[in-house]
Amino acid sequence: MKNLFIGNEQLQVGGRGISVTVNNFWRWAGSDLNDTATRSVFAEFLVASSLEILADGRATDRSYDLLWPQGDGAGIRANVRTAAYIQTDDAEHPDQIFFDLGFRDRCDVFVFCVFKSMTPEQSPLDTELWDFYALRSGEWDGIGEERRSATVPAILRLGPVWSDYYGIGEAIQKTMAAR
């Protein structure tokens, strides 16, 4: 069983709680949602919350990110990838943003999440600033198997199903039904 925390747990020194909590750590490590690594985890959180699988959807098998249970007892294995114009370490937004494709053959579907803000003042918490695209795994014609990353236009040429935050599940189902 995982150790899941709610945030008010204290660090221990000699068996005694001190004033430093898990919430302090979360603020320190994860409060910059424009940071590439943090935004990646946040995108997984967005997709999991839209699919209503926050409690148990995170994959234990790290060859995919999320497992969305289905009525037939199986589940849809999803990898979540994110890209954004605004980066913490880059004051100027890049001309092209890239998705890190990583392993492509260990999931059923990819959900590509694009944070489309062009200014650092806009909040990643505003789901209206995100586009979500579902694409069946293996639909990589035009990208090439040797490529480990792809631009947004390259992904769009493959015909993914677009959705807003509330439509991610439907987009995944449409993608899985298409063939």
- For residue 2, the model assigns a pLDDT of 59
Q: What's the rounded Cα separation, in Å, for the pair 80 and 22?
A: 26
Q: What's the rounded Cα separation, in Å, for the pair 64 and 77?
A: 6
Of 95 and 168, more confident: 168
Tokens describing residue 130 = 């995100």
Mean pLDDT of 40-49: 92
pLDDT, tens digit (0-9, with 9 covering 90-100), for 8-43: 999 999 999 999 999 999 888 888 888 888 888 999
- For residue 98, the model assigns a pLDDT of 83
Mean pLDDT of 86-96: 64
Residue 86: pLDDT over 90: no
Q: Where are the alpha helices (DSSP H) in the chain?
A: 22-30, 36-50, 152-157, 168-177
Tokens describing residue 93 = 């937004």
- For residue 104, the model assigns a pLDDT of 54
Query: Three-state DSSP class for 102?
Result: coil
pTM reported for the whole predicted model: 0.85
Beta bridge partners of 66: 58, 78
At residue 1 the predicted structure's pLDDT band, cuts being 50, 70 and 90, is: very low
CA atoms within 13 A on the CB side of 124: 27
Residue type, 47: V
At residue 139 the predicted structure's pLDDT band, cuts being 50, 70 and 90, is: confident
pLDDT, tens digit (0-9, with 9 covering 90-100), for 56-72: 767 666 778 899 988 77
Using alpha carbons, select from 85, 157, 164, 79 the residue that is nearest to residue 128. 164
Provide φ and ψ at 45, rounded to 5°.
-60, -45
- For residue 31, the model assigns a pLDDT of 86
Please identify which residue in the block is written with the tokens 């935004």.
39
Mean pLDDT of 67-92: 81
Element holding 111 (H helix, E strand): strand 109-115
Please identify which residue in the block is written with the tokens 């294995």.
77
Residue 124: pLDDT over 50: yes
Q: Provide the mean pLDDT of the chain.
A: 84
Q: What's the rounded Cα separation, in Å, for the pair 52 and 25?
A: 26
